[in-house]
Structure 1
């Protein structure tokens, strides 16, 4: 009897929780937010082959399959029933960046490339890097090479008066001797 009386207030509290006014209910998971303000971590998903305008521009009709594979990489999809078609799909989902979906299709006539179907929104290499950069630094691209003017302004390399001796000219290091490689191992007495 005592346990029944002790459990009544607990049952009343649990029953009251099911009825909350609409203003007291917490928002649930909506879109990218949990409880309306917390953004959970989403795993980055990259699938397929990244192809850019520069990569596709090198591929010309009439190229053999091996050369197309060297330039674009191995196709993600090849079908036994459609051996003349290679599909290069690409999908990327990153937190803080819009999803990207592209499909490049290579069709062959025998061993030679017949057509290459390329989407209109295929980015250049710099555009692709900028689209996946979620850190958004100052926007300046790093300098990767010197200009001809900068290269000509560099001082010429200094030449030393003495040529550095080579290891072959000096011979083995002092104090080290090695047996010939073709010599038979020495027999121990028995």
Structure 2
């Protein structure tokens, strides 16, 4: 008898549901850091490396690539984010969409180079070479 007033207190049956409903993301996830990597004059290959393969390449507008992301969360409307890049003679001319470029992102030119020192070969044999020669399968040079 106490259950009926509790059921009336819920605004919808979905709130009462005990079934797990996961968030569903479909499409391309484009982050502000990825957008910050884009520079006019980049080749299509460089753009594909920075953003990934586009969701849509329109046959009627081959100079535009569209990246779409739809997010469906429980009890919410579907959220759609759009991002498009435009090419002129296979070079990036401009982009626009719902995702803005992040500020203060290091570019490759600003990063410090890491130099590793590799010692020269001193003529000593490695483990496999020593084993090979100890079994008499070859003559050391």
For the residues of structure 1 that align with 2:80 and 2:91, how far apart are their CA atoms?
27
Structure 1 residues not aligned, in runs of 5+: 1-22, 125-164, 179-190
* Aligned residue number for residue 66 of structure 2: 87
* Aligned residue number for residue 167 of structure 1: 127
* Aligned residue number for residue 73 of structure 1: 52
Deviations 1:151-181 (A, max 9, x none): xxxxxxxxxxxxxx8314523386x676xxx
* Aligned residue number for residue 107 of structure 2: none
Cα gap change, 1:29 to 1:177, in 2 (>3 Å): farther
For the residues of structure 2 that align with 1:177 and 1:91, how far apart are their CA atoms?
65
Q: CA deviation at 1:44?
A: 3.3
Where does structure 1 differ by over 3 angstroms across 4 or more consecutive aligned residues?
26-29, 94-100
Bigger relative contact order (CA 8 A; separation at least 6): 2
Q: Which SS does the other structure have where 2:132 is aligned?
A: coil
For the residues of structure 2 that align with 1:95 and 1:173, how far apart are their CA atoms?
67
Larger Rg: 1
* Aligned residue number for residue 54 of structure 1: 33
Q: CA deviation at 1:43?
A: 4.1
1:41 matched to 2:20? The reply is yes
Structure 2 residues not aligned, in runs of 5+: 103-124
Deviations 1:63-91 (A, max 9, x none): 11111011100000111111011100112
TM-score of the aligned structures, taking structure 2 as reference length: 0.61
For the residues of structure 1 that align with 2:130 and 2:36, how far apart are their CA atoms?
53
Q: CA deviation at 1:52?
A: 0.8
Q: CA deviation at 1:38?
A: 2.7
Cα gap change, 1:54 to 1:40, in 2 (>3 Å): same
* Aligned residue number for residue 32 of structure 1: 14
Q: Which SS does the other structure have where 2:48 is aligned?
A: helix
Matches within 5 A, 1:16-27: none
Does structure 1 retain, via aligned residues, the 8 Å contact 2:65–2:84? yes
Pick the structure with more strand per residue: 2
